[in-house]
Amino acid sequence: SSELTQDPAVSVALGQTVRITCQGDSLRTYYSSWYQQKPGQAPLLVIYGENNRPSGIPDRFSGSSAGDTTTLTITGAQAEDEADYHCHTRHSSGRPYLFGAGTKVTVL
């Protein structure tokens, strides 16, 4: 598929680990980036490339990839991590950029 597929929603107990996946053929060619978006706010970059965090992003956020799937992991989820998470990559045909539809993470 030329698109990126994400689960619409996942939930996690406070302090536990949640994995958010994103699947698409283009991920076999390029790494992804992940964005956190809280209601009424602009997206915020949390992970890019192989597994890189911008300055200020807590180390409980990590990324990994295998085949056509990329995964954002939040280890020890906090209440403030409740948000939508969007994956992104470049289309493997060279036509630029794809976004997943987003996954809503609820921290219980």
Partner 1 sequence: QVQLQQWGAGLLKPSETLSLTCAVSGDSFSYYFWSWIRQPPGKGLEWIVEINHSGSTNYNPSLQRRVTMSIDTSKTQFSLNLSSVTAADTAVYYCARIRDYYDTSGENTAWYFDLWSRGTLVTVSS
Q: Which residues bind partner 1 (CB under 8 A)?
A: 29-33, 35, 42-45, 48-50, 52, 54, 86, 88-90, 95-102
Q: Which is nearer to partner 1, 97 or 106 (CB)?
A: 97
> Residue 12 or residue 88: which is nearer to partner 1 going by CB?
88
Q: Which lies closer to partner 1 via its Cβ, residue 15 or residue 58?
A: 58
C-beta closer to partner 1: residue 30 or 74: 30
61 phi, psi to nearest 5 deg: -95, 130
Min separation Cβ 52 and partner 1, Å: 7
Q: How many CB atoms lie within 10 A of CB 54?
A: 12
State how far Cα 42 lies from the chain centre: 15
In which order are the strands placed within the sheet that holds 69-74? Answer: 5-6, 18-23, 69-74, 61-66
CB of 69 to partner 1, least distance (A): 15
DSSP 35-61: EEE-TTS--EEEEETTTB--TT--TTE
Q: How far is the CB of 43 from partner 1 (least distance, A)?
A: 6
